[in-house]
């Protein structure tokens, strides 16, 4: 069990580590979960509807060895569900889909946002802080690497006021991919020792403060 560390704690939001093993985190005596095998993951079930979110984590990437490398993926990919991944070129990728009721899944409904490439050969095997904010009203997505902005965009597909939902999801994997998807294998090759989800879109100064607080002097 990977317990939710915030107060007040919500037992139903605790994560269940499947396969992922405990290892050393950003410094000695700090734990992290290592994701190496195809089935390694942390299962979550996050309730609620949101108008904005920020996802943030400390991650050590050992290899970008797939087209898509999971940070947080919902089961399947339904309306209002966010997906956060590392793309094959080392860029951070955030996406969210909204399609009219009764229509089939189609890429032309998928809002995709890419940062510049940040997971480069010299960053592999080192701890870095990744973050992304999404405002459901403005449609703006801002991506961060070690507290520095590396991407800012509004999709031409954005329609204000649509809610964001998670439901069953996984950190470090995509355990229940969309049926027939061309790239279902997305397990992360690396380790995570902190993962935070906020129900607001944090600004640059708040993300930088998070990075500063998470570094050991």
Alpha-helical (H) ranges within the chain are 204-214
Question: Cβ distance 58 to 214 under 8 Å?
Answer: yes
- Say if domain 15-214 classifies as CATH 3.90.550.10: no
d(CA 187, CA 37): 8
d(CA 114, CA 96): 12
Structural domain spans, the chain: 15-214
List the chain residues with pLDDT less than 70.
1-9, 101-108, 180, 217
Question: Cβ distance 142 to 133 under 8 Å?
Answer: yes
Structure-block tokens of residue 141: 């997505």
pLDDT, tens digit, 9 for 90 and up, residues 14-31: 889 999 999 999 999 999
Structure-block tokens of residue 161: 């006021």
Residues in the chain: 217
Q: Hey, how many other C-beta atoms are within 10 angstroms of the C-beta on 60?
A: 21
pLDDT score, position 9? 64
pTM reported for the whole predicted model? 0.92
Nearest to 136 by CA among 151, 155, 150, 149: 155
pLDDT score, position 159? 87
| Dihedral-angle region of residue 169 (phi above 0 means left; psi in -120 to 50 means alpha; beta otherwise) | beta
């Amino acid at each position: 069990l990977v317990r939710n560390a915030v107060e007040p704690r919500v037992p139903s939001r605790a994560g269940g580590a499947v396969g992922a093993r405990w290892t050393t985190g950003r410094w000695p005596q700090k734990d992290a979960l290592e994701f190496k095998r195809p089935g390694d993951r942390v299962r979550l079930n996050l309730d609620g509807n949101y108008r904005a979110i920020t996802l943030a984590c400390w991650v050590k990437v050992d290899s970008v060895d797939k087209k898509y490398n999971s940070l947080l993926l919902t089961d399947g990919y339904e309306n209002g569900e966010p997906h956060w991944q590392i793309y094959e070129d080392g860029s951070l990728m955030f996406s969210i889909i909204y399609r009219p009721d009764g229509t089939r899944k189609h890429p032309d409904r998928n809002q995709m946002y890419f940062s510049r490439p940040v997971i480069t050969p010299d960053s592999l095997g080192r701890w870095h802080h990744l973050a992304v904010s999404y405002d459901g009203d403005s449609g703006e997505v801002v991506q961060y690497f070690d507290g520095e902005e590396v991407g800012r965009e509004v999709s031409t597909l954005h329609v204000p006021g649509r809610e964001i939902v998670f439901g069953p999801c996984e950190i470090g994997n995509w355990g229940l991919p969309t049926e027939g998807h061309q790239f279902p294998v997305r397990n992360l090759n690396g380790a995570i020792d902190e993962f935070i989800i906020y129900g607001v879109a944090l600004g640059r100064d708040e993300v930088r403060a998070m990075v500063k607080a998470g570094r050991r002097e």
